[in-house]
């Protein structure tokens, strides 16, 4: 049995357990996957994390709001991920915890599947937390010429801009950015707004239309107010489910060393 888990807060609707169990079935492996909510367990994140390590669990996914906190608990070999400052995947091995960011690699894979070698152009990212960091670094790697980071916590946005220094041609920080959204080629939601339990859109949907693409990091539900409005306005939309699939495939490979066929996994999840 390969024991896996997810640490996060609003995770009861998560499809991650099914993804990893189905991936295990396709790979001929017996996989268990637990949802671990610190508040319900009466423990803080660090205690839950260490309990998982001590239990012999193989690995963890980390989600909102713990992706940046988890950095202090793991060894991170990739200098880019250390600079990114957030992890969503941890592998336990020989008592050690190794940290990775498959949101970053998964976003790049989802972009290339949708848009091939096209570059993002000018992009606005709403939300500078763990997901926002992964996507911002992904957009920089894909050749975005200008990134505007929007967050009501301006210090958090500035910290992300500083981490990105030199990777993107121009990085701006705003607590609101109507003008930048209208002028952007792409708009990204990396906040929890839109997910189950957090309805609405963090972006005024009346601003949508001039852009050519949008990305929604939320994957539960598969369609959000923002993604529906972006599609209705004529934008090409990458939904959060695409990030979910690609980051999940990358995480499963890290957990098990096995590569699962993407189309077979999609078909299994669609049943």
Which residues participate in catalysis according to the annotation?
Answer: 67
Q: Are 23 and 2 in contact (CB under 8 A)?
A: no
DSSP annotation of 53 reads H
The distance from CA 262 to its chain's CA centroid, rounded to whole angstroms, is 18
DSSP annotation of 197 reads T
SS3 assignment, position 76: coil
The distance from CA 230 to its chain's CA centroid, rounded to whole angstroms, is 19
Strands 89-93 and 96-100: antiparallel
Neighbouring C-beta atoms of residue 36, cutoff 10 Å: 21
The region that residue 232 occupies, defined by phi over 0 for left and psi between -120 and 50 for alpha, beta otherwise, is alpha
């Amino acid at each position: 049995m390969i024991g896996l888990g997810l640490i996060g807060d609003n995770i009861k609707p998560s499809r991650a357990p099914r993804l990893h169990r189905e991936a295990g079935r396709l790979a001929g492996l017996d996989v268990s996957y637990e949802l671990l909510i610190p508040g319900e367990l009466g423990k803080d994140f660090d205690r839950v994390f260490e309990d998982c390590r001590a239990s012999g669990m193989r690995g963890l996914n980390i989600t909102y709001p713990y992706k940046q906190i988890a950095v202090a608990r793991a060894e991170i070999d990739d200098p880019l991920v250390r600079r990114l400052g957030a992890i969503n995947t941890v592998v336990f091995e020989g008592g050690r915890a190794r940290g990775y960011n498959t949101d970053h690699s998964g976003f790049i894979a989802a972009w290339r599947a949708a848009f091939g070698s096209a570059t993002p152009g000018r992009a606005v990212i709403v939300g500078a937390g763990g997901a926002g960091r992964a996507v911002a670094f992904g957009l920089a790697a894909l050749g975005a010429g200008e990134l505007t980071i929007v967050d009501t916590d301006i210090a958090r946005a500035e910290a992300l801009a500083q981490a990105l220094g030199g990777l993107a041609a121009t990085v701006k920080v705003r607590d609101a950015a109507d003008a930048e959204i209208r002028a952007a080629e792409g708009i990204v939601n990396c906040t929890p707004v839109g997910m189950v339990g957090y309805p609405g859109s963090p972006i005024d949907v009346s601003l949508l239309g001039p852009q050519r693409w949008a990305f929604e990091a939320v994957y539960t539900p598969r369609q959000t107010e923002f993604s529906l409005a972006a599609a209705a306005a004529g934008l090409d939309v990458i939904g959060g489910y695409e990030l979910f699939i690609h980051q999940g495939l990358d995480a499963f490979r890290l957990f098990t060393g096995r590569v699962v066929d993407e189309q077979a996994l999609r078909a299994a999840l669609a049943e």
